[in-house]
Structure 1
Amino acid sequence: MSAVTAPWLVVALREVETKVKDKAFVISTLVTLLLIVGSIAASAFFANRNTEYSVVATDELSYQVLQGAQDEHPDDVSLTISQTDAATAEQQLSAQEVDATLSSGNGGKDFTLTGFDEVDAQLQDLISSSMTSLLTDQLLSQAGIDSSQLPTADELKVTQLEGDSERTAMVRAMAFLFSFLFYMAALLFGMPIANSVIEEKQNRVVEILASTIRLRQLLAGKIIGNVILAMVQLLLFISAGLLVAYLAPGEIPFLGVVAQVAGWFVVFFLGGFLVLAGIWAALGALATRTEDLQQSTGPVVGALLAVLFIGIYAKGSFLVIASYVPIVSSVAMPIRLLSGDVALWEPLLSLAILLAACWAVLLFSERIYRRAVMHTGGTLTLRKALKLEV
């Protein structure tokens, strides 16, 4: 039989076709894609956005405050200042020609920042900081103290033994993304394998299929079809995210590192998903009704939640250990690779362990499937299933 008409390929293509024609699947894929693209684009936009403010002072002391704010403003803030009388400043604010006005009162002991309908919080913080510095300098000057000799917050230098803060933030963000994508794919494409097996058992379709195709090829087709769907969707999400990040204005730190590790994640994802696909298929064969499946899949869903939380929160030696545990390593090892402190042999060893586990689980699942899929007399345990004749 040619490769084109191989039974397992026919089954796989049927799984793909059924899913692609499912409107809910298509819509959820598009929505997720838009969320990924939108979040990356928004992050890049706000990260490179330069905020501009224009403020008018109504007296000399207020103008000094604005000068201090202009000297100390962050790199992503542009502050335009001017000075005029109170009446003109109010007219400019009413016409929305400026963002705010600043005036002093009570003998220069307090200040009033006025906006048209609101005052931006960032502008408030900037003016408040400058006002505090000015008033403090005045008080110190009256006491005969030079404010330049006083310690400031700038003298506190923050450092860390390993890596840097920007890379740590990147690792946290990508850890969440990798863990979430694996968790969603395992549920979205793994559960249908079990449901499909149960439906074929309930409708007796599997008995008809068994007369024309070997059960081993039927199972292989189901798993391969869902693997194709999961991998295509994953590659679509990752490619779109990296493309938007690359085309976004400004420079996104560690984009090259993320792109390299994304390739590792795809490989580890494939191994981890194959393990789970075999488990889902076996659970579907052991069950007789959908209600039975809901009970038996509890531990699997719990394990997926554990993978999700380990990927997001695990650190240090615990993350190192997790990176060699099959299924968990699908997210733990790529997360470690993001830090850049991993020798090449480590992901290769982890991948070898994952593939060995994948091979063992698929062989065991195929054995369970062939024995249990034709059984319709009630839910089976693993022990009972292994005792059944093929």
Structure 2
Amino acid sequence: MNTTTAPWLIVALREVETKLRDKAFIISTIVTLLFIIGSVAVTGFLANRTSNFAVAATDDASFRVLEQVIQDRPEDVELSISRLAPEQAEQQLSAERLNATLSGSADAQEFTLTGFNAVDQELSSLVREAMKTVKTDQLLAEAGLESASLPDNEDLILDQLHGDSERAAMASAMALVFSFLFYMATFLFGMPIANSVIEEKQNRVVEILASTIRLRQLLAGKIIGNVVLAMIQLLAFLSIGLLAAYISPIQIPFLGVVTQVAGWFVVFFFGGFLLLAGIWAALGSLATRTEDLQQSSGPVVGLLMAVLFIGLYAKGSFLVVASYIPIVSSAAMPSRLLSGEVAFWEPILSLAILLAACWLVLLFAEKIYGRAVMHTGGALTLRKALKLEV
């Protein structure tokens, strides 16, 4: 061992090197990055795609319906219409020169939209709405009324006393993203810390290592190595996602706000993951088999699920309280920051509480690890581990 290199750094580098050689880790990271890029690309493509339809009417009533479709169609729909005899329309449809034909009954009360293999759902929806409009106008004309006198959907104006609905929708979506990233990382990098500790106990490797370096250095190296890996992966996911969003052809609202809050999320993620890394290491030292870990990790898994569900459902005062609870605050405070209704001192206070809790948990984890990691006589409880001599 090189005496000029700190023992904890050697352990940390070993953890990083081992993970970077893991094909499953590399493949999952690449797949996730591709999924992020693909999601933004598909969203941009769908948002800018223009639908083109060619439809022929076989009678005057059907032609009026198609004219109404042209008036009501959204900007991303192009429609070309024509008036053809039934036989001609069928021939062009069979030759696939038309997307559909529209025919009305003798009393113009029913219409049939015919496609070659199938009728496009978007086209059928547009024709259905236009048909209702035309028939309604006809009935009103017969009664001596005009459609302009009827109530309209636009007569209802949506407003709210507090906040911005569009920003609230963005905050809800990004809160889910932040919560999921935290949840995924803590399993991808947290659980292996515990499994590594168990493996070293089973193979008696920890006894050899303990004769060379202090257990505190060994624990620090394991935690730091996995924290570095988790932070690198998180930064890669966020950077690629934000870059794809910025170069996307569609205008994503509040993208600047998301970028700023992403920085806060990285800081809160660091504190929350560091705290959990200490917990996973302690749990690994208490166990002697993987099965023991599965039984003792229930509360941690439940806490992680709580973080994920808070990202999904937490609102109002519950979210405010959650933003000051360590670990949960890693997702809750960034979620609040997205809304823009947080005082400048609140994230600082929340982060201070998180880091203080992190420090206490790491000290406790070191105490448990130092007593339990050399024990091979079966799984331990916290009470039993604290009674063991160092």
Post-superposition Cα deviations, 1:194-215, rounded to whole Å, max 9, x if no partner, equal 1111111111111111111111
Structure 1 stretch 105-114 or stretch 321-330: which is displaced more? 105-114
The 5 Å alignment of 1:100-119 reads 100-119=100-119
Q: In the alignment, what sits opposite 1:357?
A: 357
1:75 and 1:164 map into 2 onto residues whose CA distance is 26
Q: In the alignment, what sits opposite 2:19?
A: 19
1:163 and 1:74 map into 2 onto residues whose CA distance is 29
Q: In the alignment, what sits opposite 2:318?
A: 318
Match for 1:242: what amino acid? Answer: L
The 5 Å alignment of 1:40-51 reads 40-51=40-51
Match for 2:367: what amino acid? Answer: R
Q: In the alignment, what sits opposite 2:295?
A: 295
Q: In the alignment, what sits opposite 1:66?
A: 66
TM-score, normalised to structure 2, is 0.96
Match for 1:47: what amino acid? Answer: A
Q: In the alignment, what sits opposite 1:347?
A: 347
2:51 and 2:27 map into 1 onto residues whose CA distance is 36
- Work out whether residues 193 and 284 of structure 1, in 8 Å CA contact, stay in contact via their aligned partners in 2: yes
Q: C-alpha displacement at 1:285, in angstroms?
A: 1.1
Q: In the alignment, what sits opposite 1:29?
A: 29
2:127 and 2:98 map into 1 onto residues whose CA distance is 15
Structure 1 stretch 79-88 or stretch 179-188: which is displaced more? 79-88
Q: C-alpha displacement at 1:303, in angstroms?
A: 1.0
Q: C-alpha displacement at 1:26, in angstroms?
A: 1.1
Residue identity over aligned pairs, in percent, reads 70
Match for 1:309: what amino acid? Answer: F
- Work out whether residues 44 and 245 of structure 1, in 8 Å CA contact, stay in contact via their aligned partners in 2: no
Q: C-alpha displacement at 1:30, in angstroms?
A: 1.4
Post-superposition Cα deviations, 1:122-144, rounded to whole Å, max 9, x if no partner, equal 11111111111111111111122
1:3 and 1:153 map into 2 onto residues whose CA distance is 77
Distance 1:356 1:3, change over 3 A: farther
1:276 match: secondary structure = helix
Q: In the alignment, what sits opposite 2:85?
A: 85
Match for 1:65: what amino acid? Answer: V
2:172 and 2:29 map into 1 onto residues whose CA distance is 24
Structure 1: 5+ residue stretches without partners: none
Q: C-alpha displacement at 1:276, in angstroms?
A: 0.3
Q: In the alignment, what sits opposite 1:212?
A: 212
Structure 1 stretch 137-146 or stretch 79-88: which is displaced more? 79-88
Match for 1:251: what amino acid? Answer: Q
Instruction: Kindly report the root-mean-square deviation, in angstroms, between the aligned alpha carbons of the 2 structures.
Output: 1.7
Post-superposition Cα deviations, 1:155-211, rounded to whole Å, max 9, x if no partner, equal 222233333333232222212211111111111111111111111111111111111
The 5 Å alignment of 1:206-245 reads 206-245=206-245
1:102 match: secondary structure = strand
Post-superposition Cα deviations, 1:38-75, rounded to whole Å, max 9, x if no partner, equal 12221222122222222222222212111111111122
Q: C-alpha displacement at 1:381, in angstroms?
A: 2.0
Q: In the alignment, what sits opposite 1:164?
A: 164
Q: Between Structure 1 and Structure 2, how many residues are aligned?
A: 390
1:20 and 1:219 map into 2 onto residues whose CA distance is 20
- Work out whether residues 271 and 355 of structure 1, in 8 Å CA contact, stay in contact via their aligned partners in 2: yes
1:73 and 1:160 map into 2 onto residues whose CA distance is 29
1:113 match: secondary structure = strand
Post-superposition Cα deviations, 1:277-304, rounded to whole Å, max 9, x if no partner, equal 0001111111122221111111111111
Q: In the alignment, what sits opposite 1:379?
A: 379
Q: C-alpha displacement at 1:107, in angstroms?
A: 2.1
Structure 2: 5+ residue stretches without partners: none
- Work out whether residues 44 and 252 of structure 1, in 8 Å CA contact, stay in contact via their aligned partners in 2: no
2:278 and 2:51 map into 1 onto residues whose CA distance is 53
TM-score, normalised to structure 1, is 0.96
2:355 match: secondary structure = helix
Q: In the alignment, what sits opposite 2:135?
A: 135
2:159 and 2:74 map into 1 onto residues whose CA distance is 21
Q: C-alpha displacement at 1:2, in angstroms?
A: 8.7
1:79 match: secondary structure = strand
Q: C-alpha displacement at 1:3, in angstroms?
A: 9.7
Q: C-alpha displacement at 1:359, in angstroms?
A: 0.7
Match for 2:197: what amino acid? Answer: V
